[in-house]
A and B are shown apart, each in its own frame.
Chain A
Amino acid sequence: MVAVTSPGPVRRPPPLSVGIAVAAAAAVVLSVVRVPLAAGIGVLGVVSVIAGSLLGVRTLLELSGAALGMAVVVGGSLGAAPASVSVAALAAVVAFDVADHAYGLGQGIGRDARTRRNELVHAGGSLLTGGLAGAIAYGVFVGIAGGQPTTALAFLLCGAIALIAALR
């Protein structure tokens, strides 16, 4: 019998999801590009999402999630428009979600298996969830913009969190 070398699962994230994650991370940078500091932090996030996906290191993906989140906070604090901040937040969560999902697929299924449909459905679901939440929140913000926006919004958010805690 001739020994056959085993190809084995290639334990790296599948390329499609990595592409989507990098695009979403880049969207964060673009959304807060008016605030150079925020854009700088965002670029750090883009770099670490690429590195984490290529090397298959989850710590780097978490780091990129934190960097993208900071980019949103810094961008919002230093005067980016509310709409861009919302989009940046959505893109940041999608980037982390998709990259982390791809990491999990890479570990459990491998790069050489068929995963395309799974990846697309997950990315779509992620975008839909965040988009819906963002749209509602932004709609409320625009609707009550006349009064005391921040306080009212803060209370609304607290209410939403309390509601979620009560769920299930």
Chain B
Amino acid sequence: METNRWAGLVGAVLFVAGVGIVLRVPGLIVAGAVGVGYLAAARTGSAPTPALDIKRTVGTDDPEAGDDVTVTVEVTNTGEAALFDLRLVDGVPPGLEVVDGSPRCATALFAGDSVRYTYTVAATRGRHEWTNIEAVTRDFVGSEERAMSIEAESVLECVPPLGSTTDLPLRGLTTRYTGRVSTDIGGPGVEFYALREYRHGDPLRRVDWNRTARTGDLTTLQLREERAATVVLIVDSRKSAYLARDPDAENAVERSVDAAGRTFLALLDGGDRVGLAGLCPDDRWLPPGTGTEHRARARVLLATDSAFAPTPVRTDGTTYVSRWTRGAIERLSPDAQVILFSPLCDDAVARAARRFDAGGHPVTVVSPDPTARDTPGHGLAWIERRLRLSELRSAGIRVIEWDEEPLGVAVARAEGRWSR
């Protein structure tokens, strides 16, 4: 490809030499000849096709989120031709940010020479893949350039531990296992529920002796029975959910995944059975379960799976939300409840929440707010989202609106307005 760097030089040469001829000044003709030299070089030069050997090493295999990871790129010219002007741009994965150095380099490599440069990225949750290095070569005087993309694959996988716990209140639909959801059933538990007349077979420890002493009748103390729930956490990770207030802010899917991780851990620790699903083209479904192994699987899934990636992995493919929802309802056990993490920036997902609710699965929506109000268009999106939230609320669905504050604060605020 021509760079047109020397576009004006022909005119300049003719002008200088012309003035020299008209005024009979030999010096100017010689000056014109200097320009002719560049023209000749530009005319004959062609950008070489580089034969490059590329090695990329990623400093650490298993970094913590936020760790600095050094990436070293070594490029060797294995061809015969000298590369007088070689520019390299390493394709840093979109989820990573360069914090030191530069993934770019410009150099000149003669046959057999190599160049090595390093830069540092901050590791973030997820599986990050380098695929290519872009190389641009130019000829001696830069009149022509050739760009090509050279394959060089590396992977950085960062699996952070699931975050600290946030207690998310569940709605009263439970399994027969003992857990932490309070029921309206008297039985074994810790909280006072009711008193009733002693029946044959009641354990002696449950007899309220004070009352018996006062009235002479044997009375049994009943406690509120606590049971476990089955909960499926659904993260809305469609391409349209990757929304953020400004380019540097964490996007809604990042926040949702973070919140889902915390909730998962909290529920699992509380004895509930928890499942995990991604609402996206790659259908992901971790059936509800308990135990250490289940926890480890969820951790890896949340950290590295494409359904929960910090940046959209698949740019193709539409998610048909209603079809997905139908499939999900079929898979849900009848007593399961749903916690849906979504920015709620379109009607399809709001409809999905209502369908879960209609299907007999109590729904709680945790909605990270990605809207801004700086322009009229953004303001409109903000209003639309607010309306969607209030529609869901009036349909009896719990909605936790999550602004910039920690999730726990948002949950506490939302709890205040729920009528149990």
With the chains together, A90 CA to B31 CA distance in Å? 7
Min CB gap A33→B, angstroms: 15
Question: Contact at B106–A3, with CB atoms within 8 Å?
Answer: no
Question: Contact at B105–A97, with CB atoms within 8 Å?
Answer: no
Residue A41 interfacial (CB < 8 Å): no
* Closest chain B residue to A118, Cβ basis: B106
With the chains together, A160 CA to B64 CA distance in Å? 65
Taking A82-B27, A113-B102 as contacts, is the C-beta distance between A125 and B141 under 8 angstroms?
Answer: yes
Question: Contact at A4–B26, with CB atoms within 8 Å?
Answer: no
Question: Contact at A137–B33, with CB atoms within 8 Å?
Answer: yes
Question: Contact at B27–A86, with CB atoms within 8 Å?
Answer: yes
Determine the chain A residues whose CB is within 8 A of the CB of B30 once the complex forms: 82, 85-86, 89, 134, 137-138, 141, 153
The contact of B34 among A80, A90, A100, A150, by CB within 8 Å, is A90
Question: Contact at B38–A130, with CB atoms within 8 Å?
Answer: yes
Question: Contact at B106–A77, with CB atoms within 8 Å?
Answer: no
Segment 205-262 of B: residues with Cβ below 8 Å from A: 248-250, 254
Min CB gap B148→A, angstroms: 15
Residue A101 interfacial (CB < 8 Å): yes
Determine the chain A residues whose CB is within 8 A of the CB of B99 once the complex forms: 4, 7
Residue A50 interfacial (CB < 8 Å): no
The contact of B107 among A5, A62, A118, by CB within 8 Å, is A118
Segment 1-18 of B: residues with Cβ below 8 Å from A: 3, 5, 8-9, 12-13, 15-17
Question: Contact at A122–B84, with CB atoms within 8 Å?
Answer: yes
The contact of A121 among B20, B43, B84, B136, by CB within 8 Å, is B84
Residue B157 interfacial (CB < 8 Å): no
Question: Contact at B20–A150, with CB atoms within 8 Å?
Answer: yes
Min CB gap B93→A, angstroms: 14
Residue A29 interfacial (CB < 8 Å): no
Residue B171 interfacial (CB < 8 Å): no
With the chains together, A118 CA to B43 CA distance in Å? 21
With the chains together, A167 CA to B143 CA distance in Å? 15
Question: Contact at A129–B141, with CB atoms within 8 Å?
Answer: yes
Question: Contact at B25–A76, with CB atoms within 8 Å?
Answer: yes
Main secondary structure of the interface of A (DSSP, over half): helix
Residue B104 interfacial (CB < 8 Å): yes
Question: Contact at A7–B106, with CB atoms within 8 Å?
Answer: no
Residue B97 interfacial (CB < 8 Å): yes
- Per-residue contact bits, chain B 82-126, to A (CB 8 Å; 1 contact, 0 not): 001111010000000111111011111000000101000010110
Question: Contact at B84–A125, with CB atoms within 8 Å?
Answer: yes
Taking A1-B65, A93-B38, A100-B5 as contacts, is the C-beta distance between A110 and B102 under 8 angstroms?
Answer: yes
Taking A72-B16, A129-B141, A150-B20 as contacts, is the C-beta distance between A112 and B101 under 8 angstroms?
Answer: yes
The contact of B36 among A76, A83, A125, A164, by CB within 8 Å, is A164
Residue B40 interfacial (CB < 8 Å): yes
Segment 315-345 of B: residues with Cβ below 8 Å from A: none
Residue B195 interfacial (CB < 8 Å): no
Determine the chain A residues whose CB is within 8 A of the CB of B141 once the complex forms: 97, 125-126, 129
* Closest chain A residue to B121, Cβ basis: A4
Question: Contact at B34–A137, with CB atoms within 8 Å?
Answer: yes
Taking A86-B27, A133-B38 as contacts, is the C-beta distance between A121 and B108 under 8 angstroms?
Answer: yes
Residue A88 interfacial (CB < 8 Å): yes
With the chains together, A113 CA to B118 CA distance in Å? 10
Question: Contact at A89–B29, with CB atoms within 8 Å?
Answer: no
Residue of A82, A105, A121 with most chain B CB atoms under a 10 A cut-off: A121
With the chains together, A134 CA to B30 CA distance in Å? 7
Determine the chain B residues whose CB is within 8 A of the CB of A3 once the complex forms: 248-250
Residue A37 interfacial (CB < 8 Å): no
Question: Contact at A161–B26, with CB atoms within 8 Å?
Answer: no
15 A-B pairs with C-beta separation under 8 A: A1-B124, A2-B66, A81-B27, A85-B28, A89-B35, A109-B104, A112-B102, A113-B101, A115-B106, A121-B84, A137-B30, A149-B26, A164-B39, A167-B40, A168-B44
Chain B residues within CB distance 8 Å of chain A: 3, 5, 8-9, 12-13, 15-17, 19-21, 23-41, 43-44, 65-66, 84-87, 89, 97-102, 104-108, 115, 117, 122, 124-125, 136, 140-142, 248-250, 254
Chain A residues within CB distance 8 Å of chain B: 1-7, 9, 62, 65, 69, 72-73, 76-77, 80-86, 88-90, 93, 97, 100-101, 104-105, 108-110, 112-115, 117-122, 125-126, 129-130, 132-134, 136-138, 141, 145, 149-151, 153-154, 157, 160-161, 164, 167-168
